[in-house]
Amino acid sequence: MLMGEQLSPENPALPVNLPQAKEIIDILRILEEKTKGNLNEEETNVMRDMLYTLQMKYVELASDSPSST
């Protein structure tokens, strides 16, 4: 999701776009909050785990970015 992941060896890596990646993460956080209590346990776990993974990847890339000083 805009963080340069290569989905398949046959496809080129996508460019990194941290501002847009942050925006998507923020939207997913809003979605998580808005759906609280309406998801089953499995859906809640998927949402939580996905957000955590995306946030950690974002932090990793942002800290490696030369413009993040």
Contact residues for 7 (Cβ-Cβ < 8 A; gap 6+): 14
Task: Give the burial string for 30-51 (b: 16+ CB within 10 Å, else e).
Answer: eeeeeeeeeeeeeeeeebeeee
CA-only gyration radius of the chain, Å = 14
Cα of 7 vs its chain's centroid, Å: 14
Q: For 16, phi and psi rounded to 5 degrees?
A: -85, 130
pLDDT of the chain, 69 residues: tens digit per residue: 567 777 778 887 778 899 999 999 999 999 999 999 999 999 999 999 999 999 999 999 999 877 644
Q: Which structure tokens are listed for 29?
A: 């956080």
